[in-house]
Each structure stands twice: as C-alpha cells, then as structure tokens.
Structure 1
C-alpha cells in the first residue's frame, strides 16, 4: 500500500502496528530478527510519537512522566543545585 503523506500513514496505523514499531525501536530489530536501519528507527519513532499524540491521552504516551515537583501555590518550587568540579584522574 502506498500513502500520499505521513499523515495518511498515521491515520491508517492500528494500535498493533504502533506496538510493533515501539517494540522494534526498543529492541533494535523487527519481530523476525532483522535489525532496524538507522532510517527505519527514526521513521518508526516519528510514527509512534505522531500516532500516540493523535490517539492516546497524554498520560498513556511513551515517555510520559508525571510532574513530581509541584508546590501548593502553583508557583514552581526552587530546587537547589550544587555544581562540583569533576574529579581528576592522576
């Protein structure tokens, strides 16, 4: 099947196709054991992100992280940061 655009491809994808692409990205190979090329990995990643953005609520998308540092007043809470010089090997 040929698609006219990337959007057509995303519209035609099913949950199963998205899951297969996600698994291929994670393992670096297709279900039959063939390795993904760099281009295939990039294309699959773009397709998974686009499909999830269109079909899943934010909290169910790959990479979703609930914000853990919330203050009670709606203002961002300051987080102290300590910078250290890297240890030098001698």
Structure 2
C-alpha cells in the first residue's frame, strides 16, 4: 500500500486525532509526540485535507488575512469624563 492509498483510506476520526497530536504536541494518552512523528503527522494531515477537499479556512495552519474593520465600543462624540481614583 502506498502513502497516497493510505491517506485515501484514512478515517476522519484518525485524521482528527493526528491533527490534535500536531496541534498539542502530545498523543491522546498524554505521551509527547517526537519531532519526527510530528512531521509525519503534519504531512498526513495536509495530504488528507487536500484529498478530501477540506475548506481552506478549516485547514491546519490557515491564517485569515482578510482586513476587518475594528469596532470601537465607545460612541463617537462621547465626552463623559474619566475619574482616576488613587
């Protein structure tokens, strides 16, 4: 069985477990994930997400680069004085 065939047969539960191991750096039983294991898991997760057409916003490592307007909770023109207590 090739690596690609293995990824195609990967169960969604196993995918979530691998993804969580990459994110937290530990297995579900609490043992630490080695650097080599983390790299292999990350590669498997990326292949799975590409193969199963996971939306870009839900993929590991996604960064939202859309510019959003900051909403100030203070209304414009509010001139309420601030009291400083010592």
**How far apart, CA to CA, are the structure 2 residues paired with 1:37 and 1:28?**
8
- Structure 1, unmatched stretches of 5+, are 70-90
**How far apart, CA to CA, are the structure 2 residues paired with 1:11 and 1:18?**
11
Task: Give the alignment's Cα RMSD to 1 decimal.
Answer: 1.5
Who is 1:68 aligned against? 66
Query: 1:53 touches 1:61 (CA, 8 Å); kept in 2?
Result: no
Who is 1:57 aligned against? 55
Task: Pick one of 41, 44, 47 that aligns with 2:41.
Answer: 44
Task: Pick one of 3, 25, 29 that aligns with 2:26.
Answer: 29
TM-score relative to the length of structure 2: 0.66
Shift of 1:66: 4.1
Q: Which moved more, 1:38-47 or 1:6-15?
A: 6-15
- Structure 2, unmatched stretches of 5+, are 68-86
